[in-house]
Amino acid sequence: MKRKIVIVGVASGWGAPDQRTANGAHVVINHLKSIYPDLFYTYASYHLPESLSSTAIKPLHDYAIRQFHVTRVVTELSHQIEVLVNLGYFPIVIGGDHSIAMGTWSGIKRTYNTDFSLLWFDAHMDAHTYESSNSLSPHGMPIAALLGHGIKAWTELAHKDRPVIAPEHLYQFGIRSFEEGEASLLAEHNIAICYAHTCAKNGLLPEIQSVMQNRSTENFGVSIDIDAIDPHFAPGTGTTEPDGLNPKDIVSFLKEIKNHPHYVALEIMEFNPDKDIENKTLYWLIEFIETLI
C-alpha cells in the first residue's frame, strides 16, 4: 500500500525539565529534507530560541506555565492530526517531549471515532497525574491523560465522556523505571506491560507479535520514546535508563507493519539533539521513519 506520508514536526519541550528536546523536530526535518525533499512536512515551534533551558528545578516551579503551554500544543496538534488524516495522510509526528502524545492520539480518536490499540515503547510508564508526580513534569503524564485521568483540558481533547485509549487496548514495552503512583494506576487498569527484562528474556519481537495477533481492535498506532532504547545506541534523550531495547528489533517490527492497512500513525518523541553523540540517536530515528518512506 502506497501511503501519503506527512512529517509533523512539533517543537515543544514544555513538558520536560530539559526543554531542549524541542530542538529534535527541527534537526530531524532538516535531515529528512536533505534526503527526501519531496515529502510533505509541517512544523510548529512553541518556544522562542532563548527560552529553551537545559535544567529545571524538580518539582517544577513553573508547572502552571508549562501546563498552559502543553495544553496549547496538544490542542492544536489534535486538530491538525484530524485535518491531515481526513485529507488522506499518514502522520509521522516528531517531538518534542512525550506530553505531545496527548495531541497525536486524541487527534486519531477524533478522526476515526472508534477504539484503536496503542503500542507504547518507553523506559517509563508516563502514567502520573499532578497528584502522584514528584517532579510535576507533564511529559510523565500522557498515558494517564489518554486513559482519562488528569486535568480536563487533557482528558477531554477528543471526547468529554470517554478516554482516548481503553485500558485493554494499551500495550507498553521496555518499561524499566517507574514510581509507585503511576504503577498503581496502571495496575488498577490491568494495563499490559512488557518490562525491559521480559523483553530481553523472551525477545521483543515475539512479545510484539503476540500483541498484534491478539489485539481486539482493527486500527493501531505506535508511539516511541527514544529513552526506550538502550543509551548505548541512543544517548540523545532527556532521561536515559540502562538495559533498554535494541533499536534493530524496533526497526524489524516497523518493517513488518509498514503496509498494514490499519496502521494509523507513528510518533517518535524525546529526541534531544543537544545530548546526542556522533548522531547515534538521529541515525536510529531516521531508520524508524524510513520504514514507511
- Return the CATH number at 78: 3.40.800.10
- pLDDT band (50, 70, 90) for residue 122: very high
Count CB neighbours of 36 within 10 A: 14
- Residue corresponding to grid cell 525533499: 37
- In degrees, to the nearest 5, what angle opens at C-alpha 194 toward C-alphas 192 and 195? 125
Question: 2: pLDDT confidence band, cut at 50, 70 and 90?
Answer: confident
Q: Which domain holds residue 18?
A: 4-290
The 10s digit of each residue's pLDDT in 39-63 is: 999 999 999 877 899 988 889 999 9
pLDDT of residue 1: 62
- Whole-structure pTM value: 0.97
How many domains is the chain partitioned into structurally? 1
pLDDT in tens, 170-221: 999 999 999 999 999 999 999 999 999 999 999 999 999 999 999 999 999 9
Helix (H, G, I), strand (E, B) or coil at 286: helix
Cα atoms in the Cβ-side hemisphere of radius 13 Å centred on 204 = 23
Rounded Cα distance, 124 and 105, in Å: 18
- pLDDT at position 184 is 97
